[in-house]
């Protein structure tokens, strides 16, 4: 069904959307319009971004809140928690119809996935950013922001989980993945996660995620109330000549879980396997993900299953890491066996 923004405003007033800004390319500046890489955040604020898109005024009543102003490769779980608390407070307000988050694209998928698992709201939460800095020729940020606000203002976007909107695509937080370092069509790939599109000013949904999200997950901000950051989980990336050095380093650094970004179907080098089995025996949770970035990782050989390694299914390594962090946070007091069972259940469910 098509919903046009002109028809989405609740009874005679413009929808009220709260924009939470965290930084990213969308507020970055180059030295001149042709500088498309190597730019930096140089003091542009979310207000200046909004002021540069006059059409926003006709689309929604906007409120802006700056949560951070960083490049998202330096994102932290401390910011995630602050952001999630801000969103929940805004979403609880009766006069607020939707939420937009502006964010760098590097870790956008991780932030979106975290929010998708913990937020307890049916109101639309849309995350957007840009691939070209605000100063660039053909900057993509202004239209992405306008489209994100349109999607957040559309009543059809309610209850769909956190949505990633970039380059006219509406994708689920679960499946959207950054696939290109510079192209504006970076969120794409074999498992794109696209459930809708923006065509002109029309918003067209063509699907929905069947995995539980937001109000239907076991996770919430209440589980994280005593924490200033999420538990440590490291990703170890496999390759020829691999060995257990980084696994041992992760255990020594206090990792509660390790996500192994294996070759192929979550495969593990025989030298690394010894270190992972040792880590599992010490109670560290082990997730087998894949560096192939598509398809599903299945349970694998008997030895891996006996050691309690959990296959990541269709979650990529960085999203598997976030899910493992939430399991560790929620089930911190459980014994190792129970925690591992919760982890396996979470990967099967979400
Ligand atoms: N296109 C981008 O947003 C990437 C720029 C920056 N590295 C960030 O993620 O914030």
CATH number at 291 reads 3.40.50.40
Q: Does pLDDT of 210 surpass 70?
A: yes
8 located within any domain: yes
Burial of 46: CB neighbours in 10 Å, binned 0-12, 13-18, 19+: buried
86: nearest Cα among 76, 97, 75, 100: 100
Cα–Cα dist 258/266, whole Å: 13
Work out the pLDDT band at 193, boundaries 50, 70, 90: confident
Longest dimension (CA), the chain: 66
Q: Do residues 264 and 182 both lie within one domain? A: no
Catalytic residue list contains 105 = yes
For residue 330, the SS3 value is helix
233: nearest Cα among 218, 217, 248, 253: 253
Tell me whether strands 233-237 and 61-70 are parallel, antiparallel or unpaired.
unpaired
Would the CB of 141 count as within 6 Å of ligand 1?
Answer: no
Ligand 1 centroid from CA 81, angstroms:
20
State which ligand 1 atom lies nearest to the alpha carbon of 24: 10
Q: What is the b/e burial string over 20-32, where b = at least 16 CB atoms within 10 angstroms of the residue's CB?
A: bbbbbbbbbbbee
Nearest CA to ligand 1 atom 3: 104
Cα–Cα dist 39/29, whole Å: 6
Ligand 1 centroid from CA 71, angstroms:
6
202 located within any domain: yes
* 3-state helix, strand and coil shares in percent for the chain, rounded to the nearest 5: 35, 20, 40
12 or 249: whose pLDDT is higher?
Answer: 249
Q: Do residues 44 and 154 both lie within one domain? A: yes
Q: Do residues 284 and 156 both lie within one domain? A: no
Ligand 1 centroid from CA 39, angstroms:
10
Q: Which of 21, 22, 23, 24 to mutate to test the pocket of ligand 1 (most atoms within 8 A of CB)?
A: 24
Domain residue limits at 207: 2-215
Q: Do residues 191 and 271 both lie within one domain? A: no
Looking up residue 65, the CATH number of its domain turns out to be: 3.40.50.1170
Work out the pLDDT band at 294, boundaries 50, 70, 90: confident
Q: Do residues 98 and 237 both lie within one domain? A: no
Burial of 61: CB neighbours in 10 Å, binned 0-12, 13-18, 19+: middle
333 located within any domain: yes
pLDDT for res 7: 44
Ligand 1 centroid from CA 103, angstroms:
8
Work out the pLDDT band at 43, boundaries 50, 70, 90: confident
226 located within any domain: no
Q: What is the mean pLDDT of residues 236-246?
A: 98
Q: Quickly tell me which residue has 């960083």 as its tokens.
A: 70
Q: Which helix (H) or strand (E) holds 199?
A: strand 194-199
Check 25, 59, 102, 105 and give the catalytic one. Answer: 105
Would the CB of 325 count as within 6 Å of ligand 1?
Answer: no
Q: Does pLDDT of 306 surpass 50?
A: yes
Tell me the two tokens of residue 197.
Answer: 């599109």
Cα–Cα dist 147/153, whole Å: 10
Q: Quickly tell me which residue has 């696994």 as its tokens.
A: 247
Q: Does pLDDT of 2 surpass 70?
A: no
Average pLDDT over all residues of the chain:
94
Residues 6+ apart with CB under 8 A from 48: 27
38 located within any domain: yes
pLDDT for res 153: 98
Within 10 A of 192 (CB to CB), how many other CB atoms are there? 15
Work out the pLDDT band at 345, boundaries 50, 70, 90: very high
pTM for the complete prediction? Answer: 0.94
Domain boundary among 215, 247, 266: 215
Q: Do residues 151 and 19 both lie within one domain? A: yes
Ligand 1 centroid from CA 93, angstroms:
31
Would the CB of 72 count as within 6 Å of ligand 1?
Answer: yes
Would the CB of 181 count as within 6 Å of ligand 1?
Answer: no
Q: Do residues 189 and 60 both lie within one domain? A: yes
DSSP state letter for 233? E
Q: Do residues 177 and 258 both lie within one domain? A: no
Cα–Cα dist 347/314, whole Å: 9
Q: Does pLDDT of 8 surpass 80?
A: no
221 located within any domain: no
Domain boundary among 155, 186, 215: 215
Would the CB of 110 count as within 6 Å of ligand 1?
Answer: no
Give yes or no for a contact between 315 and 323, defined as CB atoms under 8 angstroms apart.
yes
Would the CB of 106 count as within 6 Å of ligand 1?
Answer: yes
Q: Do residues 188 and 275 both lie within one domain? A: no
Q: Do residues 113 and 40 both lie within one domain? A: yes
Would the CB of 105 count as within 6 Å of ligand 1?
Answer: yes
Distances (CA, A) of 105 to 178, 182, 271: 7, 10, 35
220 located within any domain: no
Would the CB of 290 count as within 6 Å of ligand 1?
Answer: no
Please state which of the ranges 3-12, 277-286, 332-341 shows the lowest mean pLDDT.
3-12
Q: Does pLDDT of 4 surpass 50?
A: no
Q: Quickly tell me which residue has 């509406």 as its tokens.
A: 170
Give yes or no for a contact between 209 and 160, defined as CB atoms under 8 angstroms apart.
yes
Distances (CA, A) of 344 to 150, 176, 212, 312: 37, 22, 15, 9
pLDDT for res 27: 87
48 or 128: whose pLDDT is higher?
Answer: 128
Q: What is the mean pLDDT of residues 174-183?
A: 92
Q: What is the mean pLDDT of residues 241-252?
A: 98
Tell me the two tokens of residue 126.
Answer: 């849309």
Cα–Cα dist 266/243, whole Å: 16
Tell me the two tokens of residue 50.
Answer: 């909004």
pLDDT for res 63: 97
Would the CB of 317 count as within 6 Å of ligand 1?
Answer: no
Q: Do residues 189 and 92 both lie within one domain? A: yes
Tell me whether strands 169-172 and 194-199 are parallel, antiparallel or unpaired.
antiparallel
Work out the pLDDT band at 12, boundaries 50, 70, 90: confident
Q: Do residues 134 and 92 both lie within one domain? A: yes
Cα–Cα dist 250/255, whole Å: 6
Ligand 1 centroid from CA 27, angstroms:
10
130 or 294: whose pLDDT is higher?
Answer: 130
What is the number of structural domains in the chain?
Answer: 2
225 located within any domain: no
Cα–Cα dist 111/96, whole Å: 21
Domain boundary among 183, 215, 247: 215
Nearest CA to ligand 1 atom 8: 104
pLDDT for res 190: 53
């Amino acid at each position: 069904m098509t919903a046009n923004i002109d028809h989405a405003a609740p009874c005679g007033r413009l929808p009220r959307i709260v924009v939470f800004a965290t930084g990213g390319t969308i507020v970055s500046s180059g030295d001149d319009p042709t500088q498309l890489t190597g730019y930096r955040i140089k003091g542009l604020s979310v207000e200046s971004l909004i002021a540069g898109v006059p059409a926003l005024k006709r689309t929604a009543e906007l409120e802006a809140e700056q949560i951070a102003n960083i490049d998202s490769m330096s994102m932290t779980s401390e910011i995630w928690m602050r952001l999630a608390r801000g969103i929940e407070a805004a979403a609880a307000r009766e006069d607020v119809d939707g939420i937009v988050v502006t964010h760098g694209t590097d870790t956008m998928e991780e932030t979106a996935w975290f929010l998708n698992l913990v937020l307890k709201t049916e109101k639309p939460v849309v995350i957007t950013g840009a691939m070209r800095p605000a100063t660039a020729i053909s900057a993509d940020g202004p239209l992405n922001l306008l489209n994100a606000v349109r999607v957040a203002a559309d009543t059809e976007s309610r209850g769909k989980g956190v949505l990633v909107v970039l380059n006219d695509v509406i994708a689920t937080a679960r499946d959207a993945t950054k696939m290109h370092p510079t192209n504006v069509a970076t969120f794409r790939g074999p498992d794109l996660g696209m459930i809708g599109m923006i065509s002109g000013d029309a918003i067209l949904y063509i699907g929905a995620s069947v995995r539980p999200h937001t109000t239907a997950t076991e996770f919430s901000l209440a589980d994280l109330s005593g924490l200033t950051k999420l538990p440590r989980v490291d990703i170890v990336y496999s390759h020829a000549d691999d060995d257990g050095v980084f696994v041992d380093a992760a255990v020594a650094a206090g990792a509660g879980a390790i996500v192994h970004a294996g070759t192929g179907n979550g495969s593990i080098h025989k030298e690394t396997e010894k270190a992972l089995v040792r880590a599992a025996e010490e109670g560290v949770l082990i997730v087998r993900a894949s560096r192939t970035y598509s398809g599903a990782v299945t349970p694998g050989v008997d030895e891996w299953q006996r050691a309690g390694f959990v296959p990541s299914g269709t979650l990529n390594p960085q999203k598997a890491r976030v899910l493992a962090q939430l399991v560790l946070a929620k089930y911190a007091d459980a014994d190792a066996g129970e925690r591992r069972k919760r982890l396996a259940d979470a990967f099967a469910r979400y």
